[in-house]
Amino acid sequence: MSLRPKTDVRRKLRIFAVELVIYSGLVTVYFLVVLHFLSDWLVQLETRHVHTYAIVAILLIIGQAAVLEAVTTGLLRLLRRAFRR
């Protein structure tokens, strides 16, 4: 009986670890993409259109955090379905 909660915690931690690995990969790729494609544009924006830069900055940081987390959750769901099949 006491083994069940332990197994449950272990299972939850394993799912969390997988989620974290996927998420880490995505946030890193996201940063590299922004650096490669948007770096020069952001520098120009920061010097010429500060208000737009401020909004873009907030959107980029929220995008990195929230959108990628949603993508991770979606990917995990797909992976789980694939494994069940």
Least Cα distance to 30 among 78, 84, 69 occurs for: 69
Q: What is the DSSP string of 6-33?
A: HHHHHHHHHHHHHHHHHHHHHHHHHHHH
Nearer to other proteins, 60 or 75 (CB): 60
CB of 77 to other proteins, least distance (A): 14
Least Cα distance to 28 among 73, 72, 79 occurs for: 72
Nearer to other proteins, 52 or 78 (CB): 52
Binding site for other proteins (CB under 8 A): 16, 19-20, 23-24, 27-28, 30-31, 34-35, 39, 42-43, 46, 50-51, 53-58, 60-62, 64-66, 68-69
